[in-house]
C-alpha cells in the first residue's frame, strides 16, 4: 500500500509498504479522507510526542474492509471514523475515568501507524459509524471532538461572550461550537482577512484584524473583558497577550498546541486579582459520539472548512500548504 512516512524530524517521503494485518480486536479500514492537523506539522518538525519513523494521520474516515475475530459491532463495508487515542484502561488516570490523561496513551498517527496510508488499523472500541456523513465531513469529527472536550472543561454559560484568537479550521469549529452551546457575542481575531470572513460566515459576531489596532479594537468591543478568551493559535506570544482580555472571573482557555517546552509568561497578580481561571484541554476525551451528532444534525458545518484536496503522493507538498498557503483551511488527502 501507499503510505506517507516521517522518518525523523524534517524528513518525510511517500513509500510503498506492507498492508497492516488486524489483530483479533482490530478493524482494518480503507482510508477515504484524512486531514492534516497542526499536530502533524509539529510531528514533522519534531515538536510533539511522536515515535519515529511514523506514518502520521489521525483525522480520517473510510470503509471497513476487514475485522479481527473478536470484532462484533462492525462488518466489511461499514463507513466509519475512529478516535485515534487508545488509553491503556489500567493506569491510575484511566481508573479515574480520565482516559485522555492515560499514562500509557497510544495514538493512531502519533505513536503508531496512522491514516496517511491506504489502510489503517483501529481497535474496535475506537471505531464509530458515520451514518450519512460524507467521508470528508467525517474526517473532521476528530478536530471537532477536541473542541467538544474543551467545551466540557470550560463549561460555557448561556450568554457568555467569547474572544477567539486564530480562525483557521479549528477556530472556525470553535466559533460554531461556542455558538451551539449558548455563547452570545463571539469576537474573532486573526492576521488573515480571508479567514476572518470565513469565521463571520460561520457565526462569529465581530472580526478584528490582528494588526497594530487589534488591542484598541478588542478592548473597545468589550471594555470590561470577555467571559471566555481562547487561544487557538498555539503561538506562545498570542497566548501571553490573551490574558488581558479576560473579564474578572473570566476563563482563559489554552486550546492551541504550543511547541513542547515553549514558555509563555503571564502576570500572576492579574490572575489573582481578577479571579481568572486558566483551563487547558487536551485532545479528545470520549467526545466522538457528540461530535458526529453535531455534524449530522447540521449544528456544525464542516464542509466549508475544507480548502484543499490532494492525492497522498503530494504528502510533503500538503504539509507545506497546510502551513503556508494563504488560502488554506483544512487540507485533506483524498484516497478513495
From the CB of 101, what's the least distance to Zn ion, in Å?
8
Closest distance of CB 294 from Zn ion, Å: 17
Q: Quote the least distance from Cβ 39 to Zn ion, whole Å.
A: 5
Tell me how far, at minimum, the Cβ of 316 lies from Zn ion, in Å.
Answer: 19
C-alpha cell belonging to residue 308: 484543499
What is the nearest approach in angstroms of Zn ion to the Cβ of residue 43? 10
Say how many Å lie between the first and final Cα of the chain, rounded: 13
List contacts with Zn ion (CB under 5 A): 37, 39, 87-88, 91, 94, 102
CB of 115 or CB of 238, closer to Zn ion: 115
Whose Cβ is closer to Zn ion: residue 12's or residue 37's?
Answer: 37
Q: What are the backbone angles phi and psi of residue 294, rounded to the nearest 5°?
A: -65, -35
Choice between 117 and 218, CB closer to Zn ion:
117
Dist. CA 176–CA 173, nearest whole Å: 5
In the complex, the smallest distance separating the C-beta of residue 67 from Zn ion, rounded to whole angstroms, is 25
Q: What is the CA radius of gyration of the chain?
A: 20
Give strand pairing partners of 8. 11
CA 316, CA 129: separation in Å to the nearest integer? 30
Nearer to Zn ion, 82 or 276 (CB): 82
Question: By C-beta, is 76 or 260 nearer to Zn ion?
Answer: 260
Cell of 34: 484524512
**Which residues make Cβ contacts (< 8 Å) with residue 212, sequence separation at least 6?**
none
Question: CB-wise, 39 or 176, nearer to Zn ion?
Answer: 39
DSSP state string for 122-153: EEGGGEEE-TT--HHHHTTHHHHHHHHHHHHH
Q: What angle do CA 296, 299, 302 make, to 5 degrees?
A: 70
Cα gap 181→149, rounded to integer Å: 13
Amino acid at each position: 500500500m501507499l503510505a506517507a512516512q516521517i522518518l525523523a524530524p524534517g524528513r518525510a517521503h511517500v513509500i510503498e509498504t506492507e498492508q497492516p494485518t488486524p489483530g483479533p480486536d482490530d478493524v482494518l479500514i480503507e482510508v477515504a479522507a484524512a486531514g492534516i492537523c497542526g499536530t502533524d506539522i509539529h510531528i514533522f518538525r519534531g515538536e510533539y510526542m511522536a515515535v519515529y519513523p511514523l506514518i502520521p494521520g489521525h483525522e480520517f474516515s473510510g470503509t471497513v474492509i476487514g475485522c479481527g475475530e473478536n470484532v462484533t459491532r462492525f462488518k466489511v463495508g461499514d463507513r466509519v471514523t475512529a478516535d485515534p487515542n487508545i488509553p491503556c484502561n489500567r493506569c491510575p488516570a484511566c481508573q479515574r475515568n480520565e482516559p485522555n490523561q492515560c499514562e500509557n496513551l497510544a495514538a493512531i498517527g502519533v505513536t503508531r501507524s496512522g491514516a496517511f496510508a491506504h489502510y489503517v488499523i483501529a481497535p474496535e472500541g475506537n471505531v464509530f459509524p458515520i451514518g450519512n456523513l460524507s467521508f470528508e465531513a467525517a474526517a473532521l469529527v476528530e478536530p471537532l471532538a477536541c473542541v467538544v472536550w474543551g467545551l466540557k472543561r470550560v463549561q460555557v454559560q448561556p450568554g457568555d461572550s467569547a474572544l477567539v484568537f486564530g480562525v483557521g479550521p479549528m477556530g472556525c469549529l470553535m466559533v460554531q461550537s461556542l455558538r451551539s452551546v449558548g455563547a452570545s457575542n463571539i469576537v474573532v481575531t486573526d492576521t488573515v482577512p480571508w479567514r476572518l470572513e470565513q469565521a463571520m460566515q460561520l457565526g462569529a459576531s465581530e472580526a478584528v484584524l490582528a494588526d497594530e489596532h487589534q488591542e484598541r479594537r478588542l478592548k473597545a468591543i468589550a471594555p470590561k473583558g470577555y467571559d471566555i478568551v481562547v487561544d487557538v493559535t498555539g503561538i506562545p506570544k498570542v497566548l501571553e497577550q490573551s490574558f488581558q482580555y479576560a473579564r474578572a472571573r473570566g476563563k482563559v482557555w489554552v486550546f492551541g498546541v504550543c511547541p513542547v517546552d515553549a514558555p509563555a509568561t503571564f502576570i500572576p497578580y492579574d490572575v489573582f486579582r481578577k479571579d481568572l481561571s486558566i483551563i487547558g484541554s487536551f485532545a479528545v476525551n470520549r467526545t466522538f459520539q457528540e461530535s458526529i451528532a453535531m455534524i449530522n444534525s447540521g449544528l456544525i458545518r464542516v464542509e466549508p472548512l475544507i480548502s484543499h484536496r490532494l492525492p497522498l503522493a503530494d504528502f510533503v507538498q500538503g504539509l507545506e500548504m497546510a502551513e503556508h498557503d494563504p488560502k488554506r483551511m483544512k487540507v485533506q488527502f483524498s484516497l478513495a
